Amino acid sequence: MDTLEEIKKLKSLLDQGAISKEEYDQLKKSLFETQKDTKQTNKNSGEEFQIRTKSFKGRWIILGIVIISAIGVLAITKVNAIKHIFDVGIQNDSISNSALNPANDNVVSENGEEIGILITKTFTLDNNNNGLTFNIPKGKIWTPLYFEEESSSSDCNYIPIPKVFIDRETKTGWNKYTSFYLIDKKEFASYKLSKRNNKAVSGEICVMCVEKLCKRVTYKVYFLED
């Protein structure tokens, strides 16, 4: 719009005889060249701005990826550290409560009387683990009955007796003063007797060997569920 106004002014000067035809043509040409240079300059500035904007966005995207990756690494490291603290030497039983529903053939009867449901848990004592932690289903109580040795390494002259721990002392340990030994299957006498005399447990518990006298022993532990 400014260029058109300038050309009108130049035409008016030409008509008035203030400038010659050659001067008019030269000045008009200069105006067009100036306009062209201005447009090119604006175009270059716009392209440079877009390049800078893209570069700026690119740097922020890269920075964001780096930050997210770093957070992910820290989170994984922290989870692994926590897992190490909770799982040192103890296996965690990941079986769901719904999977603990036993079949009818697990119902225990003695002298014609239904006593409860037989529940079994298995764990291996070796260089990496010495016990098993698990949660008894909500609303259920289990009476520890006995254990039996399923298999063992050739160096086992004496099988360590597992204990039941019912109280956590810290995040990494259990209260030994409230724990008690399981009996061997060979010493088991009666479900009724066990139910009457043994301590019923609930919630989170741990079955663990406090001494390691063999390279490897696999245990099966039996509970009676009410």
Tell me the CATH number at 211: 2.60.120
Residue finishing a domain among 31, 53, 87:
87
pLDDT at 96: 37
Q: What is the pLDDT of residues 32-77, one digit of tens each?
A: 777 666 666 666 566 665 656 556 566 667 666 767 766 665 555 4
Going across the sheet that includes 107-110, the strands are 107-110, 113-125, 217-225, 142-152
192, 102: one domain: yes
pLDDT at 19: 76
184, 221: one domain: yes
78, 115: one domain: no
Tell me the Cα Rg of the chain. 42
125, 54: one domain: no
Residue finishing a domain among 87, 117, 148:
87
8, 37: one domain: yes
The residue to which tokens 């392209």 are assigned: 47
Residue finishing a domain among 67, 87, 107:
87
Alpha carbon distance 187, 121 (integer Å): 19
Alpha carbon distance 57, 94 (integer Å): 45
83, 96: one domain: no
164, 211: one domain: yes
Percent of the chain beyond pLDDT 70? Answer: 70
99, 128: one domain: yes
Q: Report which DSSP code applies to 10.
A: H
54-62: Cβ within 8 A, 24+ apart: none
61, 98: one domain: no
Structural domain boundaries, residue 50: 2-87
How many angstroms separate the Cα of 40 from the Cα of each of 37, 48, 49, 193, 222? 5, 12, 14, 100, 88
Q: Place 29 in a pLDDT band, splitting at 50, 70 and 90.
A: confident
Domain count, the chain: 2
Contacts of 160 (CB under 8 A, 6+ apart): 125, 209, 210, 211, 212, 213, 214, 217
138, 67: one domain: no
Q: Which residue has the higher pLDDT, 113 or 33?
A: 113
78, 122: one domain: no
82, 101: one domain: no
